Structure 1
Amino acid sequence: MPNEPNRFGWIVEVDVNDPNSVPKKRTAMGRFKHEGAESIVAKDGRVVFYLGDDERFDYVYKFVTSGTFNPNDRAANMNLLDSGTLYVAKFDAGGALEWLPLVFDQGPLTAANGFDSQADVLIETRRAADLLGATKMDRPEDVQPNGVNGKVYVMLTNNTRRKDDQVDAANPRAKNAFGHIIEIAEADGDFAATKGTWEVLLKCGDPSVAAVGASFSTDTTRNGWFGMPDNCAVDAAGRLWVSTDGNNPKDTGRTDGLWAVDTEGGARATSKLFFRVPVGAEMCGPLFTPDDRTAFVAAQHPGDGGTDWAPFGRPSYYEDLSTRWPDFKDDMPVRPAVVVITKKDGGVIGS
């Protein structure tokens, strides 16, 4: 069927509090390779969702609802995502940021360019962003607003296909194997703003290798650096936590995991290792409880590969696994799992 691909690439909302509810495709948020949708309430009560398109040379988006959030009426919030404006980011070389609206019949998004309605714009979100001249990024995955310091953090995982003549200020390295993190400051601290500023918080990779061009602080230890930022979270204190996908013992000398990154003051761009996943796995979905006393992390596809880990050195199959995490029993397969982390004294994580 010619329209079969159009069924995929949407954000789907699930009401986890109602087992009888029907999941809804939130088409107003655009069709692309969504890594997630991280939300925050703006100053005027509208809800802002930040979205990354997990593909090389694709874009950073945000969606701003038309209606406002009502903290005292859950039912009134159930259809907030039916209506709003989807924007795509343009990162200026001088550090300015502009959010360009993806709205039918505005600018080039007209019938002359093959768009007959807003539905066409949303189905062909990437092409619409191309026409608007948005900035082509190095695989934007998670995009996380920070309610403590008012900033927004964009995880750019990597892009080894970027050539020397394709380098720009927001994507400063050709053959970007290790990725980087951009920090956005929305105008007047308003997450619904259409303008702002930006800067590179971190260029990832091994800072001891000059050719890599990493930019961690000098206080970052040998175990503190990371590459391939993927998902992230912000704790109640405003600290950024970054999970990774793509590190492996063969190429980087480490597995993936979760790192704590300071974003303020003299410790800015200092990273500390917090948790490592088993060999072959990637870390995803970090989340902290509001009191910061419990952290949730997910280990995907542990035991994958096998040849990347010298002590094993061969493909990993069900009959011959590089690890049997998390049970470590001969009669149990390796399994992805969600891990719950607490301090032994029950205190605040990261304190």
Structure 2
Amino acid sequence: MSSSRARRAADLLGATKMDRPEDVEANPQTDKVYVMLTNNARRKAEQVDAANPRANNEFGHIIEMLPEGGDHAARKFTWEILVKCGNPSIADVGATFSSATSKDGWFGMPDNCAIDSEGRLWVSTDGMSEKSTGRTDGLFAIDTEGAARGTSKLFFRCPAGAELCGPMPTPDLTTFFVAVQHPGDDGKDWSAFGRISTFDDPATRWPDFQDGMPPRPSIVAITKRGGGKIAG
């Protein structure tokens, strides 16, 4: 079935229209399910609802769902919004990260996600530079339980023009694999470069940084200097 027909079928069944779901992952320790809603600038004020609380939702949000009885085949879930993304220092954005989130910890456009062996939620982003945030995309760790719930911390920043996808930690948390897609794209959207990125004049030459070498998508394995867990 094509995606357009799936949407029409969902409309007929009365499904809630969401702000562009990109990824869904379940936490095996808590049974909670996390849905990455990347953004939806087309949502109008009259279309706002409980699950999609912002019109012109440029930065997206994350919904946390819990299946009835812990059964993921259940027909009913309880849910709440974990975070509304964007810059919390700009009131009109309406972001809702924990107040413990630093100025480097907030993000927008949640895309892929992963849950590590300690239950921590990791979120990769796609589209930060396109929204004139002055930031590139990256990988962020979010606490989902206790007093630190909703606190986000920056872990990895992408090169200019790239998006981050496919985050995957090893079970022992000593290595974190990430995929960096299309580095050097969208040069005109990156203020430090400010013009169209081309093969001969790319916004970055990551990861080789050598004249004559184009930017290349890559899989990166991140480890801690000296070894050990990359996150505590």
Asked if these proteins are the same fold (TM beyond 0.5), I'd say: yes
1:334 aligns to what? 215
Aligned counterparts of 2:13 and 2:121: Cα–Cα separation in 1: 31
Alpha-carbon distance, 1:345 to partner: 2.5
Alpha-carbon distance, 1:196 to partner: 1.5
2:115 aligns to what? 234
Deviation readout 1:30-55 (Å, 9 max, x if unpaired): 5428xxxxxxxxxxxxxxxxxxxxxx
Give identity over the alignment, percent: 67
1:32 aligns to 2:3 (yes or no): yes
Alpha-carbon distance, 1:235 to partner: 0.2
Match of residue 96, structure 2, among 199, 202, 215? 215
1:271 aligns to what? 152
Q: Higher Cα Rg: structure 1 or 2?
A: 1
Deviation readout 1:240-292 (Å, 9 max, x if unpaired): 00000010186112110000000000000000000000000011110111211
Aligned counterparts of 2:110 and 2:134: Cα–Cα separation in 1: 16
1:99 aligns to what? none
1:146 aligns to what? 27
Deviation readout 1:182-229 (Å, 9 max, x if unpaired): 000111112222211000000000000000000000000000000000
2:172 aligns to what? 291
Structure 2: segments with no counterpart, 5+ residues = none
Deviation readout 1:283-317 (Å, 9 max, x if unpaired): 11101112111111011111011112223211010
Structure 1: segments with no counterpart, 5+ residues = 1-29, 34-123
Structure 1 residue runs of 4 or more that deviate by more than 4 Å after TM superposition = none
Match of residue 306, structure 1, among 187, 191, 198? 187
Query: Whose RCO is larger (CA < 8 A, sep 6+)?
Result: 2
1:70 aligns to what? none
Alpha-carbon distance, 1:333 to partner: 1.0
Aligned counterparts of 2:92 and 2:48: Cα–Cα separation in 1: 16
AA aligned opposite 2:3: F
Alignment of 1:1-351 (within 5 A): 31-32=2-3, 124-248=5-129, 251-351=132-232
Would the aligned equivalents of 2:23 and 2:112 in 1 still touch at CA under 8 Å? yes
Would the aligned equivalents of 2:134 and 2:190 in 1 still touch at CA under 8 Å? no
1:114 aligns to what? none
Q: May I ask how many residue pairs the two structures share in their alignment? A: 232
Would the aligned equivalents of 1:250 and 1:310 in 2 still touch at CA under 8 Å? no
Would the aligned equivalents of 1:283 and 1:298 in 2 still touch at CA under 8 Å? yes
Aligned counterparts of 2:8 and 2:191: Cα–Cα separation in 1: 43
Would the aligned equivalents of 1:235 and 1:292 in 2 still touch at CA under 8 Å? yes
The alignment yields a C-alpha RMSD, in angstroms, of: 1.3
